[in-house]
């Protein structure tokens, strides 16, 4: 009995000591890290730079697993793709109780557009043009992920892309550097909340640095080649915006830059990122980024690991090149010890800033995991966000909004698939909890309307293609009947319908990583179904799922109404129904140009003029002008395009002055009237054009936008302020300057607006 009491007392003492150890004040960061590093062996330092995947770790086996043993030996600095408080707590215990120096691990995950509460794919989110809302989505994601033990997210992806063949366009904010920068800042602020020590804050990792969104042929991981001018003026701004917002980490891209892979590019990682931009966090490779440099032709594992370290990479994801080769490179004088010490310091500083040395288990509270993930409040917010992100592409004769009455036929392979609602990179989503379009529609209409359903077609005629397009448990339960049987069933259920909702497009994994496409049309099986539905003479609404701009020339001609819903997330069916029935008036606008054909790509609004521009706006061919003989120049849908159920009229564009002086500003104002029958939101967009420059300048550049709510019949005066800073660009010497001269300013509903005034910048 006495022994039992003594053991119990010792346990209480040990427990109390552990709690005090986790909560006591630590020395200042520099002092603490200097002292810790003085105790570290080279092997332990290299361990801090090693980021393996969670691999074989399962609950109850952390210490005995292969990675668990490496953690105990001090050979792991962090883990990624491990989920749940129970698993993470167990693994962290190995690090802080079993390893010699008891350095906590950092835990990362691809929390891209929500955690278990899933928001629209990032391209969809960007179409809301609502920065406070976008920031809040990151805040909700951070709250949920940190409640599940995760403290580092590989997000946001801010790669500018003007090639929709590239599947990862789904993960970004579109084609424009100004809008992309605003989104980048909002996401970083949402994740980090300006204080990484908070239990609901997680470290953000901006990616993919750099230029990953411009691969040749639109093929993922492919070569990128562009001028420095294009880099600085068009592709770098969103990365820099993240750095300026205080992002804690940066992820290197797979592509090469000026002949050197980004993972080993010292100009990019040291000269630009650190010396020019002042980045103070750490850089992590993408998955196996170091070992992949060997395939680029940069040398064996030791050579490429040394190249990456000397370039300014601090953490090695999966390759284990740092762990296994850098000691030899140090011994051979190929890598300075100071370079490794700098890298280790940055990793330890990040852990200190996250509060992990104060409390390694700060994100391991089971109560939070039970009460802060997938809450009714976050689900309601996800429904709102999804509705705000949808883009009405066509609405002839005001077919939409629909009435909650009569018979509604729902047809299409994507209509009843919960698994595809979250879209690509929804790794934490519990797909079975999402509501499909059909389920959401039935919930919203209730007993007011009859809903009938038929699948109508498979995703694609080619079963092998469909298998590739429905990976990661996002299958569509392929129907083995003939296409004629499936179409006949769809026609049969539709014969008594008042309206047909054709739910078509891409599956979730037709876009995303390694989902490049050369054909950007809706698959032929679905086009054939749609054409048969149109032949019925009944009103047809195309409810379009996609992770990229598609080629919709045929559909735009033949279908009376098209609602692009992207992949809306957890509350997909409810949110789509909210818009279809007018409970939410659509307000989203495109952040990427939609081409008329693949042959126009790359196509984007802020292009340069040629010396022989086309002389008409009707698309008529002119010999010896810059045009095609088989296609018009302009896109199908322009950047910034999106319709509403109401109409907005612009008038009275004014400038406060026709001259802008150094350190001065001018006010741009415009009246916007809601002349339709619904209250609605309009995204007012301001563009400028630099008419004469030392280098050629784009025909238009976005310089401001406001999303405003205007009641029907109401007129609001919208104002913008322009300063010299807004007119700056990188010149031929890569100096950031605003040059004196004349400028045009445009304000309107999309990038095609002709509503303009002129002013002069004088110095």
Q: Which residues are marked as active site?
A: 286
Quote the CA–CA distance of 495 and 28 in Å, as a whole number.
74
Give me 442's structure tokens.
Answer: 């039935």
Q: Is there a contact between 653 and 757 (Cβ–Cβ < 8 Å)?
A: yes
Quote the CA–CA distance of 370 and 357 in Å, as a whole number.
25
Quote the CA–CA distance of 515 and 315 in Å, as a whole number.
27
Write the DSSP string, 14-76: HHHHHHHHHHSPPPPHHHHHHHHHHT--HHHHHHHTEE-B-TT--TT-TTTSHHHHHHHTT--
Look-up of token digits 């793709």: 81
Sheet holding 680-690, edge to edge: 659-661, 756-762, 741-748, 680-690, 701-710
Quote the CA–CA distance of 174 and 182 in Å, as a whole number.
12
φ, ψ at 106 (rounded to 5°): -105, 140
Q: Give the number of other CB atoms < 10 A from CB of residue 27.
A: 12
For the chain, state the CA radius of gyration. Answer: 28
Give me 288's structure tokens.
Answer: 């196996």
Q: Which of 469, 379, 435 is nearest to 115 (CA)?
A: 379
CB contact set of 51 (below 8 Å; sequence gap of 6+): 76, 77, 78, 79, 80, 108, 284, 315, 316, 317, 318
Write the DSSP string, 734-759: --EE---EEEEEEEESSTT---EEEE
Quote the CA–CA distance of 76 and 99 in Å, as a whole number.
10
In angstroms, how far is CA 95 from the centroid of its own chain?
32
Query: CB under 8 Å, gap of 24 or more: what pairs does 127-130 form?
Result: 127/389, 127/390, 127/391, 127/566, 127/588, 127/589, 127/590, 127/591, 127/642, 128/385, 128/388, 128/389, 128/587, 128/588, 128/707, 129/179, 129/588, 129/589, 129/591, 129/683, 129/705, 129/707, 130/388, 130/707
Distances (CA, A) of 30 to 21, 104, 353, 406, 631: 19, 17, 11, 70, 62
Q: Are strands 282-284 and 249-252 parallel, antiparallel or unpaired?
A: parallel
Strand partners for 717? 671
Q: Is there a contact between 214 and 163 (Cβ–Cβ < 8 Å)?
A: yes
Q: Are strands 715-723 and 249-252 parallel, antiparallel or unpaired?
A: unpaired
Q: Which of 252, 254, 228, 235 is nearest to 311 (CA)?
A: 252
**Environment class of residue 81 by beta-carbon count within 10 Å: exposed (0-12), middle (13-18) or buried (19+)?**
middle
Label each residue of 88-140 as H, E or C.
HHHHHHHHHHHCCCCCCCEEEECCCCECCCECCCHHHHHCCCCHHHHHHHHHH
Distances (CA, A) of 614 to 11, 169, 590, 602, 692: 82, 29, 25, 18, 19
CB contact set of 331 (below 8 Å; sequence gap of 6+): none
Report how far apart the first and last C-alpha atoms of the chain are (Å, whole number): 90
Strand partners for 493? none
For the four alpha carbons of 327, 329, 331 and 337, in that order, the dihedral sign comes to: negative
Quote the CA–CA distance of 427 and 118 in Å, as a whole number.
10
Q: Which of 105, 47, 41 is nearest to 75 (CA)?
A: 47
């Amino acid at each position: 009995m006495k022994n039992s009491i003594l053991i119990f007392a010792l346990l209480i003492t040990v427990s109390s000591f552990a709690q005090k150890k986790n909560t006591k004040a630590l020395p200042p960061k520099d002092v603490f890290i200097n002292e810790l590093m003085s105790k570290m062996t080279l092997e332990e330092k290299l361990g801090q730079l090693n980021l393996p995947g969670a691999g074989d770790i399962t609950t109850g086996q952390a210490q005995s697993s292969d990675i668990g043993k490496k953690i105990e030996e001090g050979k792991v600095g962090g883990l990624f793709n491990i989920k749940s408080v129970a698993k993470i707590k167990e693994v962290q215990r190995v690090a802080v109780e079993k390893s010699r120096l008891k350095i906590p691990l950092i835990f990362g995950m691809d929390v891209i557009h929500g955690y278990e509460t899933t928001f629209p794919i990032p391209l969809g989110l960007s179409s809301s043009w609502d920065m406070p809302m976008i920031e809040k989505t990151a805040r909700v994601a951070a709250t949920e992920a940190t409640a599940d033990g995760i403290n580092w997210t590989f997000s946001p992806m801010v790669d500018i892309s003007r090639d929709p063949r590239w599947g990862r366009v789904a993960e970004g904010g579109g084609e424009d550097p100004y809008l992309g920068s605003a989104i980048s800042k909002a996401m970083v602020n949402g994740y980090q909340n300006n204080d990484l020590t908070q239990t609901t804050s997680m470290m953000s990792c901006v990616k993919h640095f750099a230029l990953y969104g411009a691969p040749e042929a639109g093929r993922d991981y492919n070569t990128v080649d562009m001028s420095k001018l294009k880099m600085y003026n068009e592709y770098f701004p969103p990365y820099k915006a993240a750095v300026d917002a205080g992002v804690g980490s940066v992820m290197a891209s797979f592509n090469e830059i000026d002949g050197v892979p980004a993972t080993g590019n010292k100009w990019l990682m040291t000269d630009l990122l650190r010396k020019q931009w002042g980045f103070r966090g750490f850089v992590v490779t993408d998955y196996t980024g170091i070992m992949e440099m060997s395939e680029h032709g940069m040398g064996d594992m030791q050579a490429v690991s040394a190249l990456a370290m000397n370039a300014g990479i601090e953490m090695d994801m999966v390759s284990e090149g740092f762990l296994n080769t850098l000691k030899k490179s140090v011994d051979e004088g190929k890598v300075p010890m100071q370079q490794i010490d700098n890298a280790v310091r940055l990793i330890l500083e990040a852990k200190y800033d996250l509060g992990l040395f104060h409390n390694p288990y700060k994100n391991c509270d089971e109560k939070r995991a039970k009460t802060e993930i997938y809450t009714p409040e976050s689900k309601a917010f996800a429904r709102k966000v999804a509705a705000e992100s949808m883009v009405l592409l066509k609405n002839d004769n005001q077919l939409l909004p629909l009435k909650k009455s009569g018979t509604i036929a729902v047809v299409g392979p994507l209509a009843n698939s919960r698994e595809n609602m979250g879209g690509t990179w929804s790794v934490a989503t519990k797909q079975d909890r999402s509501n499909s379009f059909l389920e959401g529609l039935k919930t919203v209409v209730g007993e007011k309307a009859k809903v009938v359903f038929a699948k109508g077609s498979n995703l694609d005629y080619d079963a092998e293609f469909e298998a590739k397009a429905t990976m990661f448990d996002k299958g569509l339960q392929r129907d083995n009947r003939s296409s004629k049987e499936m179409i006949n069933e769809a026609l049969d259920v539709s014969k008594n319908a008042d309206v047909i909702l054709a739910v078509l497009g891409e599956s979730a994994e037709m876009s995303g990583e390694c989902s490049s496409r050369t054909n950007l049309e809706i698959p032929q099986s679905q086009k054939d179904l749609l054409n048969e539905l149109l032949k019925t003479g009944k009103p047809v609404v195309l409810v379009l799922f996609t992770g990229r701009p598609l080629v919709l020339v045929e559909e735009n001609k033949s279908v009376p109404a098209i609602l692009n819903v992207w992949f809306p997330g957890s509350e997909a069916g409810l949110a789509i129904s909210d818009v279809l029935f007018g409970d939410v008036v659509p307000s989203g606008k495109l952040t990427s140009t939609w081409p008329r054909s693949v042959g126009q790509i790359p196509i984007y609004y802020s292009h340069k003029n040629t010396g022989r521009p086309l002389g008409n706006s009707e698309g008529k061919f002119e010999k010896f002008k810059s045009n095609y003989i088989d296609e018009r120049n302009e896109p199908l849908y322009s950047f910034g395009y999106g319709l509403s159920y109401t109409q907005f009229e612009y008038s009275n564009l004014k400038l406060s002055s026709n001259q802008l002086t150094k350190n001065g500003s001018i006010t741009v104002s415009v009246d916007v009237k809601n002349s339709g029958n619904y209250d609605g939101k309009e995204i007012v967009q301001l563009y400028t054009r630099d008419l004469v420059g030392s280098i050629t300048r784009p025909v238009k550049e976005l310089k401001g936008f406001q999303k405003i709510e205007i009641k029907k019949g109401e007129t609001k005066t919208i104002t913008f302020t322009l300063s010299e800073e807004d007119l700056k660009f990188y010149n031929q010497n890569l100096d950031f300057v605003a040059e004196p001269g004349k400028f045009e300013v445009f304000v309107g509903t999309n990038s095609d607006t002709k509503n303009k005034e002129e002013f002069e910048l004088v110095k």
